[in-house]
Structure 1
Amino acid sequence: MRRKIPSTTALICFEAAARHQSFTKAAQELALTQGAVCRQIGALEAFLNVELFRRLRRGVQLTEAGLSYSRQVAAQLDAVERDTLSVMRQQGANVIELAVVPTFGTQWLLPRLKDFQQRHPEVTVNLTNRTRPFLFADTPFDAAIYFGDADWSGTQSHRLMGENPTPVCSPALLHGQGQIDVQSMAGMPLLQQTTRPYAWRQWFNGLGLTVPGDMAGPRYELFSMLAQAAKHDMGLALIPPFLIQRELEEGSLVVANRYALASHKAYYLMIPERKVQSASLQAFRDWLVEQAVQYTDTTRTDQHN
């Protein structure tokens, strides 16, 4: 069945005229005559059976329908242009579109990604933030790094590392002490992570304690937000140390108590089953798992020293 879609030329002329509120300026931008732009927009109005512009003595003005349609058309033309440029860039290249949870991507993966580029200069890795699972068939992603239990239908999972979050705060909250005892912590503001709503309860329960209000406190979606709030003396935050290495090294955040919450879930690389034979993804998988093992081994060595 033939699609009910107007000509691309008409849509481009309409978008330019709507943006400039002028047929003349649209014609200048598109290197067309004003008459050609008028004809294209007239044909579009006839196709839609809707008036898009009011013709005035001193120019044109969008109707309500024209204003609404122009916003939709502009967004769709932008998307087509973006996808076209993406295809042009990727021609002949090996590109991995990777969905990644935000703070892990910026704090752990990106500082190491140069090593992969040096080993595999023929492969380009593009990163996009995604905080929750999705259907690969509905997206352009080739793989994903997410935190969970690897229960993702139609994928092959590769465990990278657990979180083992530790209570941290600004040095000011320590008041010169080495760390804060658990009883004192129970009475302090507890910063919450939106996707880990039971983290503080699990942390206190691990020490055999039940603390009223362990789920109270301001909530933040990202660990990076939690870290910023903790740095500004807003309370205690449970954060995996590998996500705040810089802050711990420079002393803007300090460990408030050395008890770490054991991770039952972990960070995984998830690859759709239909793409597991991709040479680029196999190279990235092997490199990423190697990096995770090296980091985990180094962390264990440091903890025992």
Structure 2
Amino acid sequence: MNLRPRRYLPSIQQLLAFEAVMRSGSSTAAAEELGLTQSTVSRLVQSLEEQLGSPLFHRRRKRLWPSELATGYVAEVTRALNIIQHASMQIAVNPAGGTLSLAILPTFGTRWLAPRLKDFLSCHPGISLNVSTRVPRFSFGTEPFDAVIYYGHADWPDAHHQKLFDESHIACVASRFLQGRRISGLDEVAALTLLHLENRPTAWEDWFSAQGHAPRLGSGGMMMDQFSMIIQAAIQGLGVALLPEYLAEDELREGRLVALPFPAVRAGGAYMLAWPDTRQMGRPLAAFREWLAGQCDHDRPNGP
């Protein structure tokens, strides 16, 4: 039996007081936030220091100055409080079916995942799904997510992976952007204003290379951080968008964009689902993985 020494398990009240003082900068501000008196907050912080056997603050002229120990300790305390709060919210919101917290890419979420979620929730009515957008990578140890959908390779640290589907790119423009010109050569494409995605910096070079041509690209392009912005920029006639085929379907069908006469090019990465290998997989995540696999299999002949 693994007994946890009481000395190393401060109370929630002590940790909340300490974290609030560190975040707000004073015991007075922390007391207002927590609905306590200033003296109560001070006593909680002092009792925490006594329990740990180390000073967390330097006290000068009735002010608290965090020690180096406190600066490192508060990051871990904040993470632990977030995990406890997240777990408690899951039980409170959905005590029967469980909750799945998912991080996704913004445009993938709105274009591909969101239209399909009604089906998942219908198949699993007891599961609550919380979805947040994330572009930069994060650590499962510091963020309260059960899984993430991202673009790349099976290299998310400390995680299991499931491939969803590959991505193929096509070059698209608004018809008015061409102003009656016929684009038939790759040099002509390279001379146009190219719209670049921030986290795919070599996408255009890869596309030209796959076409069997590597023209020197000019510096007159535009850089954006989401596909949704690139799509709108292309529709407004600001340049040529290199888009995943599944993202361009609606705009091509409705005539807001037209595809240039070059083959689609398979991109180097794929859409992946990752989940931490340090946690036991719960029923909500298992159900979501199985449902995702079915959706991707269904789409594969005509979609991604």
TM-score (norm 1): 0.70
Deviation at 1:117, TM superposition (A): 0.7
Q: Compute the displacement of 1:196 (Å).
A: 2.5
In structure 1, the partner of 2:123 is 119
Instruction: Report the counterpart of residue 261 of structure 1 in structure 2.
Output: 265
Q: 1:16 deviation in Å?
A: 7.1
- Corresponding residue number in structure 2 for 1:59: none
Q: Is the contact between residue 107 and residue 244 of structure 1 (CA under 8 Å) also seen in structure 2?
A: no
Rate the CA distance shift 1:171–1:54 in 2: closer, same or farther, 3 A.
farther
After TM superposition, the structure 1 = structure 2 runs for residues 14-93 of structure 1, keeping only pairs within 5 Å, are 23=28, 32=36, 36=40, 48=55, 50=57, 54=61, 65=65, 82-91=82-91, 92=95, 93=97
Once residues 143 and 42 of structure 2 are traced to their aligned partners in structure 1, the CA distance between those partners, rounded to angstroms, is 38
TM-score norm. by structure 2 comes to: 0.70
The 2-side partners of 1:191 and 1:36 are apart by 57
8 Å Cα contact 1:226/1:237 also seen in 2: yes
Unaligned runs of 5+ in 2: none
C-alpha distance 193-214 of structure 1, shift in aligned 2 (>3 A): farther
Residues 177 and 238 of structure 2 are in contact (CA less than 8 Å); yes or no, is this contact kept in structure 1? no
Alignment deviations for residues 233-287 of structure 1 (CA, whole Å, 9 cap, x no partner): 3321211132244444554443234521123432233355677864433321221
**Unmatched tracts of structure 1, length 5 or more:** 56-61, 301-305
Q: How many residue pairs were aligned?
A: 290
The counterpart of 2:240, out of the listed 236, 239, 242, is 236
Q: Tell me how far apart the structure 1 counterparts of residues 88 and 279 of structure 2 sit (CA, whole Å).
A: 22
CA distance in 2, matches of 1:274, 1:38: 37
Q: Secondary structure at the match of 2:165?
A: strand
Q: State the alpha-carbon separation in 2 of the partners of residues 280 and 49 from structure 1.
A: 40
Q: Provide the residue aligned with 2:160 in structure 1.
A: 155
Q: CA deviation at 1:116?
A: 0.4
Q: Which amino acid aligns with 1:235?
A: G
CA distance in 2, matches of 1:137, 1:97: 14
Cα distance in 2, alignment partners of residues 291 and 216 from structure 1: 39
RMSD between aligned residues: 4.4
Residues 33-91 of structure 1 deviation map (CA, whole Å, 9 limit, x = unaligned): 56656766787899848566856xxxxxx67x37x999999988876664443222212
Is 1:169 matched with 2:173?
A: yes
Q: How far did 1:168 drift?
A: 1.6
For 2:113, give the aligned amino acid: L
Question: Quick one: distance in 2 between partners of 1:287 and 1:275?
Answer: 20
| 1:195 maps to amino acid | N
Does residue 146 (structure 1) correspond to residue 150 (structure 2)? The answer is yes
Contact 1:169–1:256, Cα closer than 8 Å, also in 2: yes
Q: Which residue of 1 aligns with 2:184?
A: 181
Distance 1:124 1:244, change over 3 A: farther
Instruction: Answer whether contact 2:173 2:237 (CA < 8 A) is retained.
Output: yes
Equivalent position of 2:200 in the other structure: 196
Alignment map for 1:273-292 (pairs within 5 Å): 278-292=282-296
Counterparts of 1:149 and 1:28, CA distance in 2: 47
CA, structure 1 residues 73+260, in 2 after alignment: closer, same or farther (shift >3 Å)? same
Note closer, same or farther for the CA distance 1:171–1:123 as it changes in structure 2 (3 Å cut).
same
| Counterpart Cα distance in 1 of 2:42 and 2:252 | 63
